[in-house]
Structure 1
Amino acid sequence: MKITLTVVGRTATGYLKQGIDEYVKRLSHYIGFDILCVGDAKNTKSLTEAQQKVAEGKSILATLDKSDYMVLLDEHGKEMRSMEFAAYIQKRMLGGTRRLVFVVGGPYGFSPDVYSRANDKISLSKMTLSHEMVRLVFTEQLYRAFTILNHEPYHHE
């Protein structure tokens, strides 16, 4: 299985990018993982929030194959403890998922088409996180999941 984190726009904040890069490097020991940046909507001043979500949604959907299992990182998704998230990843691996795609939307969330295509939704926190911070939290939690699955000491119960 391969895991992709699809994000709208680049990570601009240096310390967050540095942290994300560290966990991406650590993850390479366990699984094929990459971060795919899709461009954010252009000329947003002339677009409504709904139009911006539609434009970003088209960019997100264009990156997917029919067989991809897409999970939205969404405030209305299911919340999990780290052990549950590790089990979730393991279930997808054992279930024959070829590519597991997690998606972080733009500033206004996801378009209806993206919600329709999604196989699942996960929330990382009840608190609101910046979209750049979500990237760091997610990559750390994914790394933690693999250390849990491999019975390594990174995670303490």
Structure 2
Amino acid sequence: MVPDESKTEIGLRRPHRMKTILLMVGKTHSRMFESAINDYAKRIAHYMPFSTIVVPEPKDTKNLSENQQKVREAELILKELQPQDVVVLLDEHGRQFRSTEYATWLISKQQTARRLVFIIGGPYGFSTSIYERATEKISLSRMTFSHQMVRLIFVEQLYRACTIIKGEPYHHE
């Protein structure tokens, strides 16, 4: 019997080539994090189209309230989004997954989405307009991490999900 090439290792239909994007406010400041993030981004690209977009942090924030800063960031974020994008915020109040659950969730998004955009906001989170534009929210942990570290944790988990989907030995359970 010939295996069904349209199925993944975890049994769902093989999706079309969805573009996955990680959109971040501000550049990665640590060379160590930047190197590791780039390494995982290259690995992910072997499994799916993947890219990162960095929107600049607003200038002259000393005279801005937290809300004004979030509004400025939102303007830059919204310029990068397309109307059909599935937008997922990395947010402390979002849904939490085990890695295998996240892989299954990712496959379900690949069934319907053309562009899946994950967003890591600035230091004060997201403005109301970004929450309104979002399709979903995901939390990487109940613990708090620096925005720099969240970037690395996210790309590692995305890579891990790709290997789970393919049935590769990176993830041990």
TM-score, normalised to structure 1's length?
0.98
**Structure 1 position 42, deviation (Å):** 1.0
Counterpart pick for 1:31 among 48, 51, 76: 48
Distance 1:129 1:4 in 2: 21
Report the structure number with the largest CA radius of gyration.
2
Partner of 1:104: 120
Identity percentage of aligned residues? 53
Q: Residues of 2 paired with 1:69 and 1:80: CA distance?
A: 18
Written as runs of structure 1 = structure 2, the 5 A alignment for 1:5-154 is: 5-94=22-111, 96-154=112-170
Deviations 1:97-151 (A, max 9, x none): 0000000000000000000000000000111010010000000000000000000
SS in 1 for 2:88: strand
Distance 2:163 2:128 in 1: 35
Runs of 4+ residues over 2 Å off in structure 1: none
Give 1:14 shift.
1.0
The alignment status of 1:156 with 2:172, answered yes or no, reads yes
Q: Distance in 1 between matches of 2:137 and 2:90?
A: 6
Q: How many residues align?
A: 156
3-state SS, counterpart of residue 62 of structure 1: helix
Shift of 1:154: 0.2
Amino acid at match of 1:23: Y
Structure 1 residue 28 displacement after superposition: 1.1
State the AA in 2 paired with 1:37: V
- 1:47 partner letter: L
Q: Which residue identity lines up with residue 62 of structure 2 in the other structure?
A: K
AA aligned to 2:84 is: S
**1:109 aligned partner, one-letter code:** G
Structure 2 gaps of 5+ residues are 1-17
In 1, the alpha carbon distance for the partners of 2:45 and 2:83 equals 25
TM-score by length of 2: 0.89
- How far has the Cα of 1:93 moved from its partner? 0.7
Q: Distance in 1 between matches of 2:64 and 2:23?
A: 22
